[in-house]
Chains A and B, each alone.
Chain A
Amino acid sequence: MSRSVPLTVLAGGIALLAGLAIQIISADAVWSPSYGLAAALLAGSYLLAIVWRHGAAAAFLLLATVHLAAIPLIGHIGHGEGEMGPAYWALLISGWLAAWTSVTRLTAAARAVPPSAKQAINLLIPFVFGVWLILIWEAVTRGAGVPQVLLPAPSAVWAKLIASLPILWADFVQTFMKAVIAGYVLGCGIGFGTAILVDRSPFLKRGLMPVGNMVSALPIIGVAPIMVMWFGFDWQSKAAVVVIMTFFPMLVNTLEGLSASSAMQRDLMRTYAASYSQTLLKLRLVEALPFIFNALKINSTLALIGAIVSEFFGTPIVGMGFRISTEVGRMNVDMVWAEIAVAALAGSAFYGSLVLIERTLTFWHPSNR
């Protein structure tokens, strides 16, 4: 067992001591009890990290102490918005390194715990990462007084989000529930159906694929205004853009998936005198599932981008894209960020649920078992 102190602990401890030293000698450093509390909790964390190194319990205690320290660390900014100096930044870096240490310890501890606990830890790690991303963002924007227009603090975005819930909800319904869902279902459905047809007919394959290729290469800023002219200002034209964007990835992936089954597996079906549809349902489509889900995942992202961007080209006075374009014009950047947060949340939930469905349906695939 090595007695040496890990690099993150060493660097974090030095940062902590440096911060305290600057705080004491520098005349214009902002002082508050929160600073002292944060420094004390961080000092406790590092002591803990050095004394008690192994096991899940030690890792969790470290994690708790570090995050407890984060509260006064952010609270301290309130005593001097935009006036934070080196003494504070050193403390922030020290806190971040302590969090890093706790995650490293958790990862190490995860190897020795039962699978169910391991899964929980695996979920916790990206969560801790996200928390510190937001903490540092908050500390830097408010502590250094970054102008709102450049980058609003997460707390400001959150306040705006809470205050504008009805507007955000209406935008979400217009863009996501109507344009994205309708366009996604139609685009993926037509792409899938076309793939089945193209797979059966070599003539279609030669005729349709180049056309599909061309359509997929069309720039969205050219397509969106045309769709507005064809289908009107409301969500239907946005759904049409989404259909165009999602059709081709689904077509190509499904086609590739349909030829994924091995020759021997298809020969086997032949020896049973299986019909075309039996072979399709019992073999080829199952083998195609990983490819189809690949397209579904790509398309979930494309659909959201497509629907939001196409709202820049004519829309009723509701919708996420509409809101972003008008609020940018009014310099209400916190509202833009609130819309971005909603989009990120909706997009991740969409993507995440697809991943969950995929895992249960393709449990047999070598990459999942």
Chain B
Amino acid sequence: MTDIQATDAASGAGGTAEDDAFRVIEARELCLTFETNDGPVHALSNVDLTVDRGEFVSFIGPSGCGKTTLLRVIADLEKATAGTISVNGMSPEEARRKRAYGYVFQAAALYPWRTIAGNVALPLEIMGLDKAERAERIARNLELVNLSGFERKFPWQLSGGMQQRASIARALAVEPDLLLMDEPFGALDEIVRDHLNEQLNQLWDRTNKTVIFVTHSIPEAVFLSTKIVVMSPRPGRVHDVIDCNLPRERTLDIRETPEFLEIAHRVRDGLRAGHAYDDE
């Protein structure tokens, strides 16, 4: 195992200057309250989070615990009402303007008037890349998600799983160092999901990207992550942060090992405790 990064740096709030250079996300006492007609909804309450470069961090928790909201705050799609957050040492807005991240939404959100290749080309056109560069990135990233040969199909001609893979290719084509993924495999069947999990693990291992990944699935979280953030609802908050020190390179067989099952067990306990706390 080549675990170069200090993956257990979650507690390193008072790190040195070198640590800060590796810091991708730094959130302190983050709060976000939605004002709705039925009164305020506390989507995030006093959330602390640290993510270092090269980490794979999963957010797990029941529906409505603020996973999506936290990801959207990082992406500057939502503004925190209190607390501080920095992305790559900048405000989320600056980071977004510098195209610091790629975002994969829960639904594929492909444009129906563009072909699959055209959809992957969209961010590249916006970035102003030339045609040759665009063609190269489209081919490479569609290959990566096993969609070579579907370039000229329109999204509605593809299955849901293929559409979601195209949307992942679209996020990867931007070549961001940080990937934000909101339940990207939630709507896919088990087999496709396993396959994409393996591919995502390889991609992350090879490119040393930082990934923040929202999921409902405990095995998926444990298989992919270096760190699992267990969240609980009402108000949305971080209940526990569990380190996941499996080797960086993983195959699906790892899911049978005692180490894997041990971590999965701890995550499940964390989720249960979060609920119990909620019921008081």
* Cβ 8 A contact of B126, one of A267, A272, A363, A366: A272
- In the assembled complex, B17 has its CB within 8 A of some CB on chain A: no
**Partner among A262, A271, A274 whose Cβ is within 8 Å of the Cβ of B75:** A271
Interface membership of A276, Cβ < 8 A: no
| Smallest CB separation, B173 vs chain A (Å) | 11
Q: Are B105 and A286 within 8 A (Cβ)?
A: no
Q: A267-B105, A268-B105, A272-B123 are in contact. Are A286 and B111 (CB under 8 A)?
A: yes
Interface positions, chain A 355-369, Cβ under 8 Å from B, are 362-366, 369
Closest B residue to A267 using CB positions: B77
A283:B111 contact, CB within 8 angstroms = yes
Smallest Cβ distance from B10 to chain A, in angstroms?
A: 26
User: Which of the four size classes fits the interface of chain B?
Assistant: 20 to 34
Asked if B96 contacts A270 (CB within 8 A), the reply is yes
Residues in A with CB closer than 8 Å to B105 are 264, 267-268
A271-B96, A286-B113, A369-B156 known; A278-B107 Cβ under 8 A:
no
CB proximity of B79 to chain A, nearest CB, Å? 12
Q: Output the least CB separation between B263 and chain A (Å).
A: 31
- When chains A and B are docked, how far (Å) is the Cα of A267 from the Cα of B78? 10
**Min CB distance, B15 to chain A, in Å?**
28
Q: Which residue of B lies closest to A275 (CB)?
A: B126
- CB neighbours of B127 from chain A (8 A): 272
A272 touches B99 (CB 8 A): yes
Decide yes or no whether A273 CB sits under 8 A from chain B.
yes
CB distance from A271 to the nearest CB of B (A): 4
Alpha-carbon gap, A75 to B75, bound state (A): 79
Q: Is the CB of B113 within 8 A of A274?
A: no
A268 touches B156 (CB 8 A): no
The residue from B101, B107, B154 contacting A271, defined by CB atoms under 8 A apart? B101
Does A282 sit at the interface, judged by CB under 8 A? yes
Bound complex: CA of A364 vs CA of B97, how far in Å?
Answer: 31
Instruction: Let me know if A273 and B99 touch, CB within 8 A.
Output: yes
The answer, yes or no, to whether A265 is at the interface (CB within 8 Å) is: yes
Whether B77 contacts A270 by the Cβ 8 Å rule is yes
Contact with B along A280-295 (1 / 0, CB 8 A): 0011001000000000
Interface residues of B in 192-225 (CB under 8 A from A): none
Instruction: Please name the residue on chain B nearest to A274 by beta carbon.
Output: B126
Closest to B97 in A: A273
Report the minimum CB–CB distance from A358 to chain B (whole Å).
Answer: 13
User: Smallest distance from the beta carbon of A291 to chain B beta carbons, Å?
Assistant: 15
**B9 located at the interface, meaning its Cβ lies under 8 Å from any Cβ of chain A in the complex:** no
Question: In chain B between 42 and 87, which residues have their CB closer than 8 angstroms to a CB of chain A?
Answer: 75-77
| Structural contact, A265 and B113, CB atoms closer than 8 A | no
CB <8 Å contact, A271 and B126: no
Q: Assess whether B264 is interfacial by the CB under 8 Å rule.
A: no
Asked if B230 lies at the interface with its beta carbon under 8 angstroms from chain A, I say no
CB-nearest residue of chain A to B113: A364
Q: Which B90-107 residues have a C-beta within 8 angstroms of A?
A: 96-99, 101-103, 105, 107
Residues B109 and A268 in contact, CB atoms below 8 Å apart: yes
B96 touches A282 (CB 8 A): no
In this complex, what residue of B is CB-closest to A362?
B113
Q: Tell whether, in the assembled complex, residue B99 and residue A265 are in contact, meaning their CB atoms are under 8 Å apart.
A: no
A286 vs B156: C-alpha distance when bound (angstroms): 17
Return chain B residues, CB-CB under 8 Å to A274: 126
Contact with B along A323-365 (1 / 0, CB 8 A): 0000000000000000000000000000000000000001111
Verify B103–A268 contact, CB threshold 8 A.
Answer: yes
A264 engages B97 (CB within 8 Å):
no
Shortest distance in angstroms between B179's beta carbon and chain A's nearest beta carbon? 11
In the bound complex, CA of A184 to CA of B230 (Å): 61
Once the chains bind, are B112 and A364 in contact (CB under 8 Å)? yes
Task: Report the bound CA distance from A269 to B75 in whole Å.
Answer: 12
- Distance in angstroms from B114 CB to nearest chain A CB is 8
What's the nearest-Cβ distance from chain A to residue B177, in Å? Answer: 14
**Chain B residue with Cβ nearest A279:** B126
A268 and chain B: residue at smallest CB distance: B109
Judged by a CB distance under 8 angstroms, whether B142 is at the interface is no
| Docked-complex contact B174 and A272, CB < 8 angstroms | yes
Known: A270-B77, A273-B96. A265 touches B126 (CB 8 A): no
Does A364 contact B77, Cβ atoms closer than 8 Å?
no
Residues of A within 8 A of B125 (CB): 282
Closest B residue, CB atoms, query A265: B109
CB-CB nearest in chain A for B176: A271
Please give, as numbers and ranges, the residues of chain A lying within 8 Å of B111 by CB-CB distance: 265, 283, 286
B122 interface residue per 8 A CB criterion: yes
For the complex, give the distance between the alpha carbons of A268 and B167 in Å. 11
A40 to chain B, nearest CB (A): 54
**Distance, CA A39 to CA B126, complexed state (A):** 71
Closest CB of chain A to B156's CB: distance in Å?
6
Contacts of B156 in A (CB 8 A): 364, 366, 369
A sample of 13 cross-chain residue pairs with beta-carbon separation below 8 angstroms, ordered by A number, consists of A265-B109, A265-B111, A267-B103, A267-B105, A268-B105, A268-B109, A273-B96, A282-B122, A283-B111, A286-B111, A364-B156, A365-B112, A366-B156
Interface residues of A (CB under 8 A from B): 262, 264-265, 267-274, 278, 282-283, 286, 362-366, 369
Q: Which residues of B contact A (CB under 8 A)?
A: 75-77, 96-99, 101-103, 105, 107, 109, 111-113, 122-123, 125-127, 154, 156, 174
Told that A264-B109, A274-B126, A364-B156 touch, could you supply 14 new A-B pairs with CB distance under 8 A?
A: A264-B107, A268-B103, A270-B96, A271-B75, A272-B122, A273-B99, A278-B126, A282-B126, A283-B111, A362-B113, A363-B113, A366-B112, A369-B154, A369-B156
6 nearest A-B residue pairs (beta carbon):
A364-B113, A364-B112, A271-B103, A272-B123, A272-B126, A264-B109
